[in-house]
Structures are given as C-alpha cells and as structure tokens.
Structure 1
Amino acid sequence: MNVRLEIEGRVGHLLIDRADKRNAFDMAMWEALPGLLDEAAANPDLRLVVVRAAEPDGAFCAGADIRELLANKDDAGWRAANQRAINRVQYELARHPLPTLAFIEGDCIGGGCGIALACDLRVATDRARFGITPAKLGLVYPLHDVKLLTDLVGPGQAKRILYTGGLLSAEEALRIGLVETIAHDPATLIEQLLAASPHSIRETKRFVRRVLDGQAEDDADTLRIFAEAFTGPDFLEGTSAFVEKRKPEFGK
C-alpha cells in the first residue's frame, strides 16, 4: 500500500509510501486514507497519530498526482469523485478524535501541505519546504483547506502563499506560524503529548475546533464538559501526582 497505518506502542504512524513519485497522492491513496483514520480511532491503545513519509529524508508529499489529473481532466465524473475523496480526507483528518501530528522532513507541497494543515501540530526538519501551488497550475485550492491555512497564518500570509505559489523554508514557515517547531525528529513533542491527560487533550481539541468553526460562547455541552472534568479519573490522578510530587500516570 502506498499509504498505511503502523502501530508503535501508543502511537499510530500514518505512512506515505510512494517515494518514487515524491509521495504524490493518487486517487487510490485519497480513497484509502479514511479507512486508516477510522482504524486508528477505533484502536483503544492509541493516543496519537503521526503522519509522515515512510522513507526518511525524502519528500513529505509533493501533492496530488498531476499525471493522473491530466489523464482524467476531461472526465467530469472522475474529477467529481476525486474532489469528494480529497475533501473527505481533509475534513475527517482535521476532526479526528486523536491528536494528530505531521512530521515533515522534505517538500510539503499542494495537497501534501493540505494534509499537514489538517493535522493538529506540525514538526518540520530544517530541510522541509512548503508551498501551495494551484496558482501556477490554473487551479483553485479547496475552501476548507484555505480556511485551515488562514486559521494558522492569517489572511495576509495565506494570500501571499496562495497567490504566488512560492516555496517557503522551514524557518519562514516557523516564523509565520505554518509549523509549530523545527526539529530533527518529533520525539520530544510526542513524549510531551503522551505524558498529558488524554481526556484533557481530547476535549481541548474539540473546543478548539468549535472556536475555529465559529463558536465564541459556552453552551450547555461545553459547560458540562468543563464541570465533569473535576469528577473524572484524570483529574484525580493529575492532582494526586501534583501533591505527591511525581509524574502523573494517566489511563487511556
């Protein structure tokens, strides 16, 4: 499979494995990804999903398979199915119940950048480059992904990235907020995420999504989630560990 899920302890690695095509996504890969995301969500042992290239030191993802797009450009049915497949991946990845982290070692272009944008966090090596290039191809980036980009970097930077189609270094991506950190591997951040309360991360992720989708005030559901946390096992363990001056050991 050109995209697959491998389990390592409490971490699911979603591996992009098409190095001969710079990990460009074809239709089969877009269609396979939702099932892998569902598999990760259904695994009770997983606490985190990391999206990365299977081969180190190569491209993260060069975007959509342009040759496949050209071969099917006159097939309206195929184009519509391809759009649905891409939109489904982006929507479901952005709303996955587990925290998600993109580890970007090389080029992260077009649809590949979209995949990274849909993750909660992005760690890049100093080799990484970022670009969203539809303006160079006469295409238009999906609105959902434009919003993901704008939420991260603001409208001005989003317009610059989209209008020019130019490539950004890892350092510039960090400066404008496109990535959260530059590191040679994501181990430190993974360790920090696994050490935190899974309940806190899960509910905070949902709250952030509500804010990004336009909610600005508490409702009955958010007030309930806040209040019930004080009676949950993670609060008991976290506070006990604090008093006892030890690291908390949270459950699943």
Structure 2
Amino acid sequence: MESLDRSTLCLKFVHVDVRPAGIAVVTIAKEPVNSMDLAMWMELDRVLVSLEANTSVAAVIFASGLKRDVFSAGNDLMELYAPKTSAERYSNFWITQNAFLVRLYRSRLATIAAIRGACPAGGCAISLCSDVRLITPEGSMGLNEVQLGIPVPKFWGLLMGRVVSPKIAQDILLSGRMVAAAEAKQLGLVDDVVSADKLMERALAAARKACEVPPAARAATKLLLREDFCKAWELFYPTEPEYGWKFLSSASTIAVLEGAMRRLSSKGQKQEATSRL
C-alpha cells in the first residue's frame, strides 16, 4: 500500500498538501468545471488510500481549485454517452468511482467537503460521503441525474436519505432539482453556509475540532454506524454496470444526453457540455 509520507503530492488533477496537525487539503483542479472522468476518480482513490496509510494524517478536506465557483460539475458525460465509450470502460468507470465513495464514507479520517459554488451529482456524492459539509452562499448541491434522463444511483440516493431524511431526499431526487445553499442548511444537507473568503479557514477549524477527540474511538464509532451500509453498497455497485449500460445505450437515453449537450452548448457553455452528472 502506498503511503503519502511527504507534505505535498501533485497528480494531474489532484493536489495534496498536508498541513500541521495532520490535516490534508486535497484540491481538485481540472478546468473548466472539474468534470469527473475515470482518470479523476482513479487519482482521488489513490490519494485517499495514501492518506489513510499515513498514520500522521487525521483529517482531509476536499476543495476546488478552479477559477470559477464550481466544486465539481459531476461525472464527465463522455463516460456516460454510449457512442463515445464502451460497456467495458463504463464498468471500470462505475466500479472505480463507487469504490472510492465507499472508501471515503467509511474512512478512519475526519472528512470535510469545502464546497465553493455548484456541486451536482458526482460532486454531491463526494460531499454526502464527507463528515462535514460547508458551502458558499451562492452554492447549490443535489443529485440531479433525472434532469438529464438518467436514474439516480441507488446508494447515492439512499445516502442522501441518511443525511437528511428519506422523504426529503425522495422529493429532491425525483425532481432532480439543485438545492440552494440556504435551504441546504435548513434541511441538514450541509452543516453551514460560509463566505468564500472564509471557507478554507472554517474547513480547517472543523478538521481541528474533529481531531480533538481520540481518533481511534471516533473512527471506530464512525465505522459501527456506517459499516452495514457500506457492505451493502459494496455488494450492489458491481452489479450496476450491466443495468446501467443497457439504460445508457438505449436510443431514448442517448437522445436525451445529446439534447442536454446541445442545450448546454447553445448557452455558450460548450466546454461544460461534457460535465453535468
């Protein structure tokens, strides 16, 4: 197992800076909108495995390093658009991202999502798997897959239900709507709304607070509360690619995705057209 035993690590899209007191800041920067392709998920998983193997690291903060106010626009549509990918690659993509998300949700580390701006779909999933979620006032988050004609992944939806409530989650998921920052705090989807210039300061404070308690006891309690859910998730996600590919390769889904990409392009967002799930 690789261990991150130095203070910084720079991969193609992910930068790690280990601060004093064992707090790692993981900055995701893939312009223009942090679209999450297979390479991105692989880097995130590599980083998390390395941080967990480093006994001097106690907490990790996930943040965006983009120029614009976007945490992540979610999965790269080119990983989901059947004419541009394959069943084999989709399966690898799906299993890789869910393996990372399960690892994050059960991690011994205290985990904080510092959400600057928009945080749909895959970015929202990372945030839901984190222990603490902080968002900027103009930010929004949600699992908005149905807006683009794709079902919400089962355990992503169930996870939202664990964070808020099944009823509230269902209302959000079935509409595919993005929840604005103020409402997200009211619902318990995030812990606080913080100005952009104070976001990292507050995230570091949350990490330090989490580290005040004995780490072994905190990690063990976290695992007791989440392990049954994680085991069920691990059993389920390897079965999803077969169903998912049948859905993605259907003419109706391809047409919906093509329409979504055209709409995004027509709004002057051609670069972002591959980055909305």
Normalised to the residue count of structure 1, the TM-score between the two structures is: 0.78
Q: Give the superposition deviation at 1:68.
A: 4.1
* Residue matched to 1:45: 56
Q: Give the superposition deviation at 1:210.
A: 4.2
* Residue matched to 1:27: 38
CA contact (8 A) 2:71 2:123 kept: yes
CA contact (8 A) 1:72 1:79 kept: no
* Residue matched to 1:194: 211
Structure 1 position 93 matched with structure 2 position 104: yes
1:209 to 226, 242, 252: 226
Judged with a 3 Å threshold, the aligned counterparts in structure 2 of structure 1 residues 2 and 72 are, in CA distance, closer, same or farther, namely farther
- Give structure 1 regions of 4+ aligned residues with deviation exceeding 4 angstroms: 71-74, 210-214
* Residue matched to 1:220: none
| Structure 2: runs of 5 or more not aligned | 1-11, 232-277
Count of aligned pairs between the two proteins: 213
Q: Give the superposition deviation at 1:190.
A: 2.4
Structure 1 position 155 matched with structure 2 position 151: no
Structure 1 position 11 matched with structure 2 position 23: yes
Structure 1 position 133 matched with structure 2 position 144: yes
Higher relative contact order (CA 8 A, sep 6+): 2
CA offsets, 1:40-78, max 9 Å, x none? Answer: 001121110111112476211110011443265561111
Judged with a 3 Å threshold, the aligned counterparts in structure 2 of structure 1 residues 203 and 137 are, in CA distance, closer, same or farther, namely same
The percentage of counterpart residues that share the same residue type is: 28
| Structure 1: runs of 5 or more not aligned | 215-252
Q: Give the superposition deviation at 1:195.
A: 2.6
After TM superposition, the structure 1 stretch with the greater mean CA deviation from structure 2, 71-80 or 4-13, is 71-80
For 1:121 and 1:211, the matched residues in 2 are separated by 21
Judged with a 3 Å threshold, the aligned counterparts in structure 2 of structure 1 residues 187 and 4 are, in CA distance, closer, same or farther, namely closer
For 1:72 and 1:104, the matched residues in 2 are separated by 32
From the CA coordinates, give the structure whose radius of gyration is larger: 1
Amino acid at match of 2:60: V
CA contact (8 A) 2:132 2:191 kept: yes
CA RMSD of aligned residues (A): 2.0
Judged with a 3 Å threshold, the aligned counterparts in structure 2 of structure 1 residues 190 and 69 are, in CA distance, closer, same or farther, namely same
Amino acid at match of 1:48: A
